């Protein structure tokens, strides 16, 4: 909390707070002037007492607020040093406030009243209460300042998290329906319509299913696992038409896991990664297996390919962003209980694995 505190929404929050403190102090000054004049019965007039009180009070509030900001910034001040600051500020304010007041009122400093015998007890009790009240007042103000700064910081953090989530969602959407993929698929469709209309029809259905699933997934927070697998089926089906005999794929979803709710679009980037960097650049192609299984109290999602492998093709920046997005999402959703790993497959290829606590 010490560094990088967010700027709060209102302009000049410190100035605003000081102004409020200052105003409250003036009310307080007025009360003290009344007390001194009519209860303690110092021989000076109410006006003289008010001027002295305002001078001392204004200086005190300036010293205390200024000192607090200088010493502790927006942090919560430690109790005893803070009380000392208040006492020192008050003593200094007494001294300098009286000098200023004597200048303003044109009365020599020595002629300011000293309290006469009969009221000494009242004065003692009064000043004790005054001190206690002043310390308590400024202590509370300092605490409020600290708490509101903390609240602002929390608000800013929440906003940042939300922004990150939005950004991830947008990036995912862009990544899924990238123009290159779409146009290549359309080119295949165009070719198929002429030579094999029935297959073209099936491919078009798969494209529609893929687009629909992608769009609805990127809007939902949780989807049934079966939904993610049908998206996988549509995507890999499309890729199968394009790559022909170079691609084979298997989907393995046990019926018991079908209705489990999972965050959307976790499998998709992994499958895309396997195709893009593992199988598409491999001359002889290969296969992809997408599997869900339950292990203890965790759900294990695996995308395994037999492609070029981890050091086969240099990972592009796009891929790294995609994978670090997955890692960040799992971290945000499940903390240390979620996990993502990328391991070499045998004899070749990559196994990408996601762990979700159930």
Partner 1 sequence: MNKIRALIAEDEPILAHTLLLALQRLWPELQVGGVVENGIAAVAEALAQRPDVLFLDIKMPGKTGLEAAQELAEDWPEDVPFPLVVFVTAYDQYALQAFDQAAADYVLKPVSDERLGKTVERLKARLAAHTERNAELERIVGQLRSLVPHAPAAGGERLSVIRAAVGNQVRLIPVAEVLYFEATDKYVNVVTADSESLIRTSLRELLPQLDSERFWQVHRGTVVNIGAVQAAVRDEAGKLSLKLRGRPESLPVSRVFAHLFRQM
| 211 belongs to the binding site for partner 1 (CB under 8 A) | no
| 11 belongs to the binding site for partner 1 (CB under 8 A) | no
Select 109 or 186, whichever has its Cβ closest to partner 1.
186
Contact pattern from residue 145 through residue 184 relative to partner 1, giving x for each residue in contact according to CB under 8 A and a dash for the rest: ----------------------------------xx-xxx
| 315 belongs to the binding site for partner 1 (CB under 8 A) | no
CB 135 within 8 A of CB 86: yes
- Output the smallest distance, CB 238 to partner 1, in A: 12
CB 352 within 8 A of CB 270: yes
* Residue 169 token pair: 């969602």
| 347 belongs to the binding site for partner 1 (CB under 8 A) | no
Q: Could you say which of 107, 122, 211, 243 contacts partner 1 (CB under 8 A)?
A: 243
Rounded-to-integer distance, Cα 325 and Cα 164, Å: 10
Report the DSSP beta bridge partners of residue 293.
Answer: 300
Select 255 or 314, whichever has its Cβ closest to partner 1.
314
Q: Could you say which of 202, 240, 246, 327 contacts partner 1 (CB under 8 A)?
A: 246
Q: HEC profile for 260-322?
A: CEECCCCHHHHHHHHHHHHHCCCCCCEEEEEEEEEECCEEEEEEEECCCCCCCCCCCHHHHHH
Bond into 238 cis (ω within 30): no
Rounded-to-integer distance, Cα 273 and Cα 5, Å: 39
| 247 belongs to the binding site for partner 1 (CB under 8 A) | no
Contact pattern from residue 14 through residue 43 relative to partner 1, giving x for each residue in contact according to CB under 8 A and a dash for the rest: ------------------------------
Q: Which residues contact 49 (CB under 8 A, 6 or more apart)?
A: 32, 33, 36, 37, 42
Written as one string, the DSSP assignment of 4-55 is: -PPPPSSSSHHHHHHHHHHHHHHHHHHHHHHIIIIII--SS-HHHHHHHHHH
| 282 belongs to the binding site for partner 1 (CB under 8 A) | yes
Q: What is the SS3 assignment for 350?
A: strand
- Output the smallest distance, CB 163 to partner 1, in A: 25
- How many residues in the chain? 358
| 248 belongs to the binding site for partner 1 (CB under 8 A) | no
- Output the smallest distance, CB 183 to partner 1, in A: 4
Q: Could you say which of 39, 104, 159, 186 contacts partner 1 (CB under 8 A)?
A: 186
Select 171 or 188, whichever has its Cβ closest to partner 1.
188
List of residues contacting partner 1 (CB under 8 A) = 179-180, 182-184, 186-188, 190-192, 194-195, 241-244, 246, 280-283, 285, 311, 314
């Amino acid at each position: 909390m010490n560094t990088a505190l967010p700027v709060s929404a209102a302009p000049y929050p410190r100035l605003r707070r000081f102004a409020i403190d200052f105003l409250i102090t003036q009310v307080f000054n007025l009360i003290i002037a009344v007390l001194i004049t009519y209860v303690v019965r110092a021989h000076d007039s109410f006006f003289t007492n008010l001027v002295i009180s305002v001078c001392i009070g204004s200086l005190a509030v300036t010293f205390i607020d200024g000192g607090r900001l200088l010493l502790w910034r927006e942090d919560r001040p430690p109790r005893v040093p803070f009380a000392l600051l208040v006492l020192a500020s008050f003593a200094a304010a007494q001294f300098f406030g009286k000098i200023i007041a004597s200048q303003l009122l044109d009365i020599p400093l020595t002629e300011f009243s000293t309290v006469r015998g009969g009221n000494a007890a009242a004065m003692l009790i009064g000043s004790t209460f005054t001190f206690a009240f002043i310390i308590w007042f400024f202590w509370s103000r300092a605490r409020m300042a600290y708490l509101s700064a903390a609240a602002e910081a929390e608000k800013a953090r929440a906003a940042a998290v939300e922004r990150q989530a939005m950004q991830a969602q947008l990036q995912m959407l862009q990544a899924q329906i990238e123009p290159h993929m779409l146009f290549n698929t359309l080119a295949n469709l165009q070719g198929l319509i002429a030579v094999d209309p029935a297959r073209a029809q099936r491919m078009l259905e798969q494209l529609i299913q893929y687009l629909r699933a992608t769009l609805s997934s990127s809007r939902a927070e949780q989807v049934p696992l079966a939904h993610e697998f049908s998206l996988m089926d549509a995507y890999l089906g499309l890729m199968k038409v394009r790559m022909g005999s170079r691609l084979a794929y298997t989907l393995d979803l046990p019926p018991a896991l079908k209705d489990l709710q999972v965050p959307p679009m976790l499998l998709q980037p992994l499958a895309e990664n396997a195709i893009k960097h593992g199988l598409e650049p491999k001359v002889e192609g290969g296969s992809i297996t997408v599997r869900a299984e339950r292990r203890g109290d965790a759900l294990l999602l695996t995308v395994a390919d037999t492609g070029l492998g981890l050091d086969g093709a240099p990972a592009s920046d796009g891929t790294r962003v995609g994978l670090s997005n997955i890692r960040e999402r799992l971290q945000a959703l499940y903390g240390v209980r979620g996990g993502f790993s990328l391991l070499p497959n045998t004899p070749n290829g990559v196994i990408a694995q996601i762990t979700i606590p159930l």
